[in-house]
Amino acid sequence: MIVVHRLGQPADPLHLNPDLIATIEAHPDTVVTLTTGAHMVVDERPEEVAEAVLRYRSAIVAAALARD
């Protein structure tokens, strides 16, 4: 899971399954569209969300390789 914050609610972290992310756009607010069709407006910039997804997936690969 990655942690994002809904727009206007910076104190309340939201754990999001990055495998459900279909698109990330800036309108100028960041809108995350999920594969379910749901939309979320978050405080993070699109680049920050993409970086969080990359870190999440890198951690999964690293953990799998460490088991060898």
Dihedral of alpha carbons 46, 47, 52, 55, sign: positive
Q: Which are the contacts of 37, defined by CB distance < 8 A and separation ≥ 6?
A: none
Provide the 8-state DSSP code for 28.
S
The model's pLDDT over 1-32, given as tens digits with 9 standing for 90+, comes to 999 999 999 999 999 999 999 999 998 999 99
Into how many domains does the chain fold? Answer: 1
pLDDT confidence tier of residue 59, bands split at 50, 70 and 90: very high
Q: What's at 13, amino acid-wise?
A: P
Q: Residue 2's CB: how many other CB atoms inside 10 A? A: 20
Best CA proximity match to 14, nearest among 62, 63, 49, 55? 49
The model's pLDDT over 27-47, given as tens digits with 9 standing for 90+, comes to 899 999 999 999 999 999 999
- Structural domain boundaries enclosing 12: 2-66
Mean pLDDT on 45-51: 98
